Structure formats: C-alpha cells, structure tokens
Structure 1
C-alpha cells in the first residue's frame, strides 16, 4: 500500500512538473515576442505562419513516429471536418494570433492575464447556452474577474482606460477565442487524439497565415537575437509548451493542471519586468492577481461539486 501511495505521489509530481513547465514556456513566449516586436519589428502575421506551420509539422511527426498513432483519420470523417476547421481557425489560430497582437499593442503580462478571462467566459456561455445558472463559486469568480480586469486596464484611475482601446479589444477577443478553443473541440477529442487534432490545427493555421503574409516576403533582418527568439517561440513556446501540458494530463487532473496554468501570466509578467523593463503599478498587480484567483475559485467549486 505504501509502495502504491509512493508511486501515485511520484506520478502527481511528474504531472505537476510537466504542467508547470508547459505554463512557464508559454508565458516566457510573451516577453520574447514583445522583444521581437519592439526591437526587431517583426510582423505578428509573419511570425504566426512560421511558428504554427513548423510546430504543426513537428507535432504530427512526433505523433506518427514516436507515439505510433495514425494522423490521417481526422480527414476520413467529413462530418468532423467542419467542426475541426472552425476550431483550427476561430479557436487555436485565433488564440495564437490575438495573443501576439495583444502583446504587440500592450505588453506580455497584460496580454496573458487578459487571456485568463477565457475561463470566466466559459462559465457565462454555459449559463446562456445550456441554461445552467452559475453556482456561487462561479458567480464569485465572474465578479472577481470583472473587478480585476477593470483595475488592470485602468491602473486605478477607474474612469479612464490606461491601455489603448485596440489593445483592450484584442485582449477581450483573445479571451473569447480561448473560450472557443476550449469548448468547440470537446466532441472531436472523444474520437481523435488531442495531439492529432492540435497538430493539424497548428498546420492549418500556419498555412492560413503563410497565405496572408508569406514568410519569404518582407522578411525581417535575421540577427542572432531574431533567430534565437523565433526558434524559442517555435520549439519551446509553442510546441514543447503544448506537449508538456497535454502529457501532464496523464498524471494529474485537468483541474490541477488548470491551476498550475496560472504560472503562464506570472512568468510572462516577471519576464517582461526583468528583461524588458515593463512597469506595473499596485493597481495593476492587484487586478492581475484577482483575475488569476478566478482559476482557484473555480477549482475549489469543482472540488466541492465532486
């Protein structure tokens, strides 16, 4: 019995480390993107084609040759293709793109915190479309998120926005896309492997943005910093962060993984402060913490329900 408990504890530790690693890698992607936009004048559209296309190819190769799974089944069932395309464009690709645009218009910390609002939108949409009223934990989470967002975007001057309207609009659309990314593929994931779905979605997004802005047109100046920054975003910020997070779900529950996911905005904010000299006042810090606390509030509510 002691051996079994020890084994379970080791599995939970492995899962926690994987989820934490994935969250931190995604979070660090924010300051790296901010650096590329500010100092190297990269276009978000150019970066999207590169990062999603290469990540999609690598994830599919990983699935086929390492996990030994079929990667073609998704396209053999036409009734699933429409939902998949909607997920790929309005979910995954939209999240990746709007995140980069919001970083470009504000900063990495603000963009990642606004992305966290997607969890609250799921509660709201569930109430609207499934006629399921939020429980007290969900209601508190929605109120706390709204207060936190207001403090974040006003910096304490409650009658005036402290970030640009385009930045706030893109941040809210980012949260909406995150909600779609979570809710839309639920039925797909009952029939297909998550790595297959996301691998193809990455590739579809990469092709789409390569059409919008071909990577060979108006290429940025390839300094060492540019090459290293883009390579980090492709291999670690996109591909490895996803694989780590998905792999963690073998060892820990989605609730625990979601709570550890709050290290995304934390690592993004710390990275922006240390490496890019981004400043946050007390109101922004409190607002960000309130938004992040909604994950723990919802997780507590789920635990009580279980």
Structure 2
C-alpha cells in the first residue's frame, strides 16, 4: 500500500468516525430529553462553551495560532458573528430541538436537505441554473422528504408541524453554515473560526438559559450522556471531520457524511425503540442519495 493510498484510507476513516460520532449524538440527546427532562437550551450552553474552549486551546497550543487575529477587522467580525449565530449555533440548536420534537433519525435526515438548499441558493443568488444532476437531486430530495414526513399517507403529515418546521429551518441553517464562512476560511484556519463560533454560541445560550439555573437531576446516565455530546458528539466529531480534509476531497468527505443519519437512525431504533415504517426508510434513503447524485455530477464536470 503506497503513501497516497494510506493517506486516502486515513482520511476516509477520520471522516467516517466524525460522521458516526455526530450521528450517535442524536440518540444520546433523545435519551436525555425523554428520560432526564433536560432542555435543549441548557445543553447548548454547556456543550458549545466547553467545545469552543477546548478547540481554541488546541488551536493555540498545537497549531500555534494567534487567536485574536479574527477580531482585528470589523468586516471579518460582522460576517463571523452572522455565521456563529445563524449558521453554526443555529444548526446545533435546531438539531437538538428537532430531535426533541421528533426523533434522532428524522432530525439528521432533514438536516441533509441543506445540501439541496445550497444548490437552490446558488441558482437564485448567482443566477446559475441547476444542471441535470442538481435538478434530479432536488426532485429526489422533495419526494424523499414527503415520504419521510407523511409515512406514506401522502395527504397528511405524520410528524408534528413544529418538528417539520424546525427540521426545515435546520436544513436552512446548515446551508448558511456551509456558504457564509467561505471567505473567512480563506483568511483564517477552520479551527479558529469554529472554536470562536462555538464559544460565542455557548455564551449566547448561557445568557438565554444559565447552566446554573434549573439544573437537571444528575444521574450516571445524564453525566455520561452530556459528556459524550460535549467531547465526542461535538468536539471530536468536528476535529475528525476537519482533519480528514487534509487527505481526501470535500466531495468524498460529503459522501461519507451519510454515516451521520445512518448511525442516528440505527441508534434510535436499537437503543430507544424508535419505529420507522417502509415509507420512512425509502424517504430517508432518497434524501441521502442526493449526496451521491451531486457528487456524480461534480465528477462528470
């Protein structure tokens, strides 16, 4: 096995581990919400603050980066704050809320619609009509989403309106999270940008719901669950994914990202007895297939 093959294998393994850790975070969050009466707002303040601090420490002492560089130019600060609040923090929060209102599998699959929204936004804002692959991805995603939220009863919703609303907002936030920081990431490292964004989001949610008020009852399960979400589901999953991009292309990393909804759905079924019928499974697979359709289109170009 030559060095190129080894690097590709290492990058693929890192991307899969990152996706699995984020996906498993869903059932763990669902367990905390169902059995421990833990609020998404309280969890957000804890997980984003701690993750942000550790990522910035890693960036400072391992990467030897100047952490204050990001704050020196007002134009950078404005775009960064928009990204931190309406991108990264919104994705983290809306994901937890959607899990709370539905289940981990549904939330993670709806999040995957963000890829299709990016295609739509590109067509609107850059006046670039979608090609046949992108158009196919949009149609497949719409059919898949409809099957997922109706469970095959095509004239009525089988998930609550609030769950569907937060799920679609989650997809929108995911698109914003991907598109908004493009210029920032040309100037600053991804670790610095995401570390500060995590910390800003953590401070915001600590103001909304201070972690020292309405503290949930701590059991062994609660401590282990919160610890997993903070250190593995948030921080480690990001570090694995971002480091995978040293060895593999974003397209391949995006395809491997489909392990997120797979692990979230299997975790919800196995550990939380969440039921999915055949229509929901087909709908979820159709939504996930859009990643491969778009990747195929990119390869053809």
SS in 2 for 1:68: coil
Deviation at 1:87, TM superposition (A): 0.1
The counterpart of 1:9, out of the listed 5, 12, 32, is 5
In the alignment, what sits opposite 1:31? Answer: 27
In the alignment, what sits opposite 2:102? Answer: 106
Deviation at 1:70, TM superposition (A): 1.5
The counterpart of 1:163, out of the listed 159, 162, 172, is 159
- 1:196 is aligned to 2:192: yes
In the alignment, what sits opposite 1:290? Answer: 286
The superposition leaves residues 26-78 of structure 1 with CA deviations (integer Å, 9 ceiling, x where unpaired) of 00000000000000010000000000000000000001011211211000111
The counterpart of 1:235, out of the listed 228, 231, 245, is 231
In the alignment, what sits opposite 2:218? Answer: 222
- 1:271 is aligned to 2:267: yes
SS in 1 for 2:27: helix
User: Aligned residues, how many?
Assistant: 301
SS in 2 for 1:109: helix
Structure 1 runs, 4 residues or longer, greater than 2 Å off: none
SS in 1 for 2:129: coil
In the alignment, the residues of structure 2 paired with residue 216 and residue 208 of structure 1 have an alpha-carbon distance, to the nearest angstrom, of: 14
Q: What do you get for the CA RMSD once the two structures are aligned?
A: 0.5
Give the TM-score normalised by structure 1: 0.98
Question: 5+ residue gaps in structure 2?
Answer: none
The counterpart of 1:56, out of the listed 15, 40, 52, is 52
In the alignment, the residues of structure 2 paired with residue 78 and residue 166 of structure 1 have an alpha-carbon distance, to the nearest angstrom, of: 37
In the alignment, the residues of structure 2 paired with residue 246 and residue 119 of structure 1 have an alpha-carbon distance, to the nearest angstrom, of: 18
Deviation at 1:229, TM superposition (A): 0.1
SS in 1 for 2:2: helix
SS in 2 for 1:72: helix
